[in-house]
Amino acid sequence: MSTISISKISVSGLRKSFGSNEVLKGLDVEISEGEVVCVIGPSGSGKSTFLRCLNKLDELSAGTVVIDGFDLSDKTANLNEMRQHVGMVFQHFNLFPHMTVLQNISLAPVELKKQSKAEARATALTLLDRVGLADKADARPAQLSGGQKQRVAIARSLAVNPNIMLFDEATSALDPEMVGEVLQVIRDLAAEGMTMVVVTHEMGFAREVADRVIFMADGVIVEEGTPAEIFGNPQQPRTQDFLSKVL
């Protein structure tokens, strides 16, 4: 439970349309520093789009997002600077296949001139150790299992030292036996106090790790609350219906 109440992410009136299809229909969310928010909901509810609007991989159609002090509705906002504060982990890992694991992780720190090559290498090895893959530094992504790939992807995001982490269905593309190892890494990050927004289908994980659970459907936030409230005593019929199907 977060005791610090500074707003790390502030979303108000967020709308997003793709052509005539409105995917997000006005979202208002405040997320405090150190808070772990899990976003659940049926497919097509707009969870991933919401997440992608938080680091502006998708443009906002209306509303404001202020994340780690960057106002994304401001056209002059330095997106590259902002994204170094906001790490993102994708469902399909998106590792760079032409680089080794170590190069994947050290690319951004070196290119962004945050670290020398030697420093970046040391950081990368530390991060790999942290996600339990110290021996895979020189492997290519193609030689790794899904769970290993996702742990490398997390290490890669952490290499630029972000204040916030976004997880976009990070375990959805994994074989069941590999889900645990990735969730463990996310769990560790939560324990360290990282501010995180986690879009997930792992209800057990959300219940265990989240400070707050947001249930989305049809582009709106239907209900939010503590895991106990959402999973134990959902108020809205839409939430009850969804949970009855997935639990």
Partner 1 sequence: MRKFTIFRAGKLTLAVTALLALAGGFVGVGAAAANQPVLPPSAVDGPTYTIGTDTTFAPFEYRKDGELTGIDMDLIRGIAANSGFNVEIKSLGFDAALQALGANQVDGVIAGMSITDERKLVFDFSEPYFDSGIQMAVAESNTAITGYADLAGKTVVAKRGSEGETFANSISDKYKFKVKALADSATMYDDVKAGNSVAVFDDYPVLAYGINQNNGLKSVTEKERGSSYGFAVNKGQNPELLAAFNTGLAELKSNGDYQAILDKYLKEPKPVVASGFFGLLTDSLPALMKGLSLTLLATGLSILIALVLGVLFGFFKVSESRVLRGVSSVYVSIFRGTPLLVQAFFFYFGLPQLTGQNIDVLTAGVLTLSLNAGAYMTEIVRGGIQSVDPGQTEAGRSLGLGYITTMRRVVLPQAVKIMTPSFINQFVMTLKDTSLLAVIGFAELTYQGQQIYAANFRTGETLVIVAALYFIVINLLTMLSNKLDKRFNK
Q: How far is the CB of 192 from partner 1 (least distance, A)?
A: 20
Q: Scanning residues 123 to 182, which ones bind partner 1 (CB under 8 A)?
A: 153, 156-157, 160
Q: How far is the CB of 156 from partner 1 (least distance, A)?
A: 7
Residues with Cβ within 8 Å of 62's Cβ and at least 6 positions away in sequence, in order, are 13, 14, 15
Q: How far is the CB of 128 from partner 1 (least distance, A)?
A: 17
Q: Which is nearer to partner 1, 144 or 217 (CB)?
A: 144
Residues with Cβ within 8 Å of 107's Cβ and at least 6 positions away in sequence, in order, are 96, 99, 156
Give the total of residues touching partner 1 (CB under 8 A): 28
Report how far Cα 224 is from the mean position of its chain's Cα atoms. Answer: 18
DSSP state of 234: -
Residues with Cβ within 8 Å of 122's Cβ and at least 6 positions away in sequence, in order, are none
| Binding letters toward partner 1, positions 11-50, x by CB under 8 A | ----------------------------------------
Residue 115 binding partner 1, by CB under 8 A: no
Q: Scanning residues 46 to 85, which ones bind partner 1 (CB under 8 A)?
A: 55, 57, 79-84
Residue from 77, 107, 220, 243 in contact with partner 1 (CB under 8 A): 107
Only one residue has tokens 């994994």, namely 174
Phi, psi of 54, deg, nearest 5: -70, -30
Token duo for residue 130: 């942290």
Q: How far is the CB of 114 from partner 1 (least distance, A)?
A: 9
Q: Scanning residues 201 to 230, which ones bind partner 1 (CB under 8 A)?
A: none
Residue 2 burial (CB count, 10 A): 17
Cβ atoms of residues 102 and 138 within 8 Å: yes
Residue from 9, 36, 88, 170 in contact with partner 1 (CB under 8 A): 88
Give dist(CA 239, CA 54) in Å, integer. 24
Radius of gyration of the chain (CA): 18
Q: Which is nearer to partner 1, 12 or 61 (CB)?
A: 61
Binding residues for partner 1 (CB under 8 A): 55, 57, 79-84, 86-88, 90, 92, 94-99, 103, 107-108, 111-112, 153, 156-157, 160
